[in-house]
Structure 1
Amino acid sequence: MFEILRANAGGYFWRLKGANGETLCHSEVYTSKQAAETGIAAVKRVAPTAPVNDRT
């Protein structure tokens, strides 16, 4: 699930959490809640087709 939170210094960010409640990743801080929602939509749209670049 995605969570939208308020940043301490102002603005908004999102977290993606797994079924166990663990945070899998988080976003940058956005200046508006709408921008954070747009960021979530972008991740949902791109992630299923995003390639994995293994740099090990």
Structure 2
Amino acid sequence: LMKYEHEGHPLYSSARLWDDGIIDPAKTRDVLALSLSAALNAEIEDTRFGVFRM
């Protein structure tokens, strides 16, 4: 149970770079706006392959 509590904490996975980090709820709009802006400015290139599943 102690291991589950320790390794289940959000900071445990973020410290190991298993995700892109934790967003402060007060900054959710700013992060979302920045993400959408970056996504809309990127060109979509033609490819010859399908979706890569991880």
TM-score between both structures, scaled by the size of structure 2: 0.32
Write 1 or 2 for the structure with the bigger share of helix.
2
Tell me which structure has the larger Cα radius of gyration.
2
Write 1 or 2 for the structure with the bigger share of strand.
1
TM-score between both structures, scaled by the size of structure 1: 0.31
